[in-house]
Amino acid sequence: MEPPGAMNWAIGCIGDRLKTARYFDTAPVLPEGTFDAYGKPVAPASLYLAQLQERLGPQGLKNIGYDANDDDAFAAGKSTPRPPPLKTEPHPQLGADLALHRPLSATEGRPGREFAGERALDADESTYWFPADDAKRIAFELDLEGPVDINALELRESKDALGRIKAYRVEAQVDSDWMLLSEGTDVGDSKIDRFPKITAWMVRLTITQHVDGAPTLRKFGLYLDAKPPTN
């Protein structure tokens, strides 16, 4: 993406090329920027190693385990291995969960990470978000890490605290503004809300009313249902 008034260069890069608008907007779509040698090896293989060698000479490379700054050095096990795939949980009717493992900020849970907000996004039915009892505002804000089309969401309370959530509101950041997606009352074991398809950058859940201590949430899912039900 090339921002207004500036020029981005991508040299020897790999990966998908995606044209998009600036963050938090859907239009106008910005130019790509300038690609040079896209998908092809370039020399030097590492700009960092080239700068290191210029400062410290060949021994500088050897000090950190490299014999040379070329493709062979990286092919010989110098690249970082891919992490194991994250757990997934596709919904039998709604499809892939687009909220899984996304970064978020949330009302603080109880001490430690056991009850943190990300527990509602980890595809594990045994874990859940459990805010502190004295929390004045109970909410979390999910970063979709780019524009994502959605038209449905699902909420699930933890199995041992069903019925605590009595009112909630879900909003999305669309074209630099917040809009209401859905609001409701009881959640229980599973609550699915559908709405017209929108392109969201962030999604915010606010629990506005609860009973019997702090509410819990074991699942917050976002979906693009290919075949939403007709009224």
Identity at 209, one-letter amino acid code: Q
Confidence of residue 186 (pLDDT cuts 50, 70, 90): very high
Identity at 43, one-letter amino acid code: A
Tokens standing for residue 15 = 């990966």
Q: Is the pTM of this model over 0.85?
A: no
| Residue 60 burial (C-beta neighbours within 10 Å; 0-12, 13-18, 19+) | middle
Protein fold of 104-223: Jelly Rolls (2.60.120)
- Rounded to the nearest angstrom, the gap between the alpha carbon of residue 4 and the centroid of all alpha carbons in its chain is 26
Name the residue ranges covered by the structural domains of the chain.
Answer: 9-75, 104-223
Q: How far from each other are the two terminal CA atoms of the chain, in whole angstroms?
A: 40
Confidence of residue 230 (pLDDT cuts 50, 70, 90): low
| pLDDT surpassing 70 at residue 8 | yes
CA–CA gap between residue 37 and residue 23 (Å, rounded): 27
